[in-house]
Amino acid sequence: MGKLTTTSSSQHSLSLPSDGNVSDDIEKTSCASAAGSINDATPLDSDDAGRPATEDEIKTLRHVRDRIPMRVWLVAIIAAAQRFTYWSTQVTWQNLIQYGPDDAIPGLLGLGQAAGVTINNAFNVVIFMLPLLIGPIADGHLGRYRTLQICNVVCLVGMALMLGFSTPPAVRAGAALPGFMVSLVLVAIGLGGVQTVTSPLIADQYNETVPKIAYRRHGRERVVIDRDMTIHYIYSIYFWLANVASLGMIPASLLEKYASFWSAYVMTTAVLALSCVVLYFGKPYFILCAPSSTVMPHTFRVLVIAARSGFRLDAALPEAQLERGSQVPWDETFIKEMRSGLMAVKVCLVWPFFRLCIGILSSSGIAQAGQMQTSGIPNNLLMAFNAVGLVVVGIVVEHGLYPFLERRRIVFGDMARIVTGLVFMAVSMAYLTMVQALIYAAPPCYSFVQQCVVGPDGDVFTGPNEVNVLVQLPDYVLVSIAEVFALVTGQAYAYKQAPANMKSMLQSIYAVFNGIGYLLAVLISPAAKNPDLVIMWASLTGVMGAATVVFWFCFRSYDRREAAE
């Protein structure tokens, strides 16, 4: 590889060695253009293709996304392995924890439904809260690549332990419960770190910042390549591949039911090991951002100054501080970036309610399926329909709906997309309320599913009520639509608004707000029991509906403001 010149967010340039290697101790390149980024990757039909667009062209020409570099796909594959690990293991845990080895639905620990819901959601709390610690480390000290390496290895060790402690000899020795809990902690640390770093790292791989002229439709249409649209599409790829990978829950569920838990974990461990190999050998191809040890102290100082001045960021501007006789090491641009980042943080306030619903669905939704007649289908396999729905809906939205709106110059801004997702999530919770009411209205146990006394001998009936599990399927379609509109847009918005040296940090804040939702799910998990489940689902419907209305009222002007800028 020839000499590569990169440009950091502060516009200082530095050159990489001719072999493109990066020190193992620290990532020493800045976020910058790799040789042949947009210009080499985009085949164009005119001599002026690739030149910067003028103001008039930006206003009048249609905006399109750019071609996606191969290095984006490499990061997406690593992120997909993380999601494969998450779903192909977590989908087994509700049954593993809730049921014992001799129950009608096979398990290992036999701790009951409430314990299963609590442990599942506690795991998610750790995954989404841990980034608050890992994000500053990645941005300020280790760099994103090194942090990703370490977290991947920690996750691999955790999966290997989970595999070992779920084997028959370990179960017979009584090591299943302590071994499972230790491995759970390691997997949570690993997955939390991987998701913290891959989210900004994948967008770092596309670093063209200037709108440029391109030609589409075989050279017949001049268009403007739009960075924001490209970043959104990159996150759609990230999200789409993650959901393709989440289909790993299908073989995992089947292996769990018809073979054993440990056989499902063999598959997961192998995939995770392969991702470590891809990460190691893909390093020369990645665009890496140098960590900045000053960004976090500066950010903290700015926030303290703003808080002391009535929460006004303008008080931290260099000229405002000079008037008070204080000299600060940041400039006006840093304050502007901070303001942009704080806007994204305010938008994150809705994610706890959204993730609360997802957290309850991923545990109590599986338990709800177990209360119905599955006709031999593993009850946790129903979650796979959510992944299938996400894959299909993602394709339809990205390659059908969005291009349709773009061609007609119909603006469908970030806030409108998020609100659309929130509405579908509220409808999803309402549908599950109806399904639970159907279950409670059906014999033989009605509202005391799997625990009623039947027959003259006083036997306790542990089977399902007479409702077919397929009535739950439409809900996974609703949730898929909700996630495609809300989560993809939310991640892209957080990256777009974040200062250059705080991408991991802002993604961490985004993750933490999601983690709060799972924490809320843990707190209400004691309510996940018969005969109160209709009340629980109805309450979630009301909470999600109210959150949607408040969000739209507070942020509806953001799209107009961005369009004006």
Q: Would you kindly state where each structural domain of the chain is located, as residue ranges?
A: 64-287+338-564, 295-328
64-287+338-564 — its CATH code? 1.20.1250.20
The pTM of the full predicted model, rounded to 2 decimals, is 0.74
Sign of the torsion angle spanned by Cα atoms 420, 424, 430, 433 = negative
- Pair of tokens at residue 65: 């996304």
Length of the chain: 565
Over residues 516-528, the mean pLDDT reads 82
Find the helix packing angle between 70-98 and 113-129, rounded to 10°: 150
Which of 12-16, 353-357, 515-519 is least confident?
A: 12-16
With a cut of 60, say whether residue 550 has pLDDT above it. Answer: yes
pLDDT of residue 270: 95
Contact call for residues 38 and 210 (beta carbons, < 8 A): no
Model pLDDT for residues 430-481, shown as the tens digit of each residue:
999 999 999 999 988 888 888 887 766 767 887 888 999 889 989 989 999 9
- Pair of tokens at residue 52: 């910067």
Q: Of all residues in the chain, what percent are helix, strand and coil, respectively (each to 5)? A: 70, 5, 25
pLDDT of residue 377: 78
Over residues 68-89, the mean pLDDT reads 92
CA distances (Å), origin 294, targets 140, 394, 494: 7, 39, 21
| Identity of the amino acid at 320 | A
Model pLDDT for residues 5-15, shown as the tens digit of each residue:
333 333 333 33
DSSP H or E segment with residue 455:
none
Place 38 in a pLDDT band, splitting at 50, 70 and 90.
very low
DSSP H or E segment with residue 225:
strand 221-225
pLDDT of residue 40: 42
- Pair of tokens at residue 81: 């392995």
CA nearest to 360, candidates 463, 433, 257, 455: 433
Q: What are the backbone dihedrals phi and psi of residue 441, each rounded to the nearest 5 degrees, phi first?
A: -90, -5
Please write down the long-range contacts of 2-8, taking CB distance under 8 Å and 24 or more positions apart.
2/35, 4/34, 4/35, 5/32, 5/33, 6/30, 6/31, 6/32, 6/33, 6/34, 6/287, 7/32, 7/33, 8/32, 8/290, 8/500
DSSP H or E segment with residue 101:
none
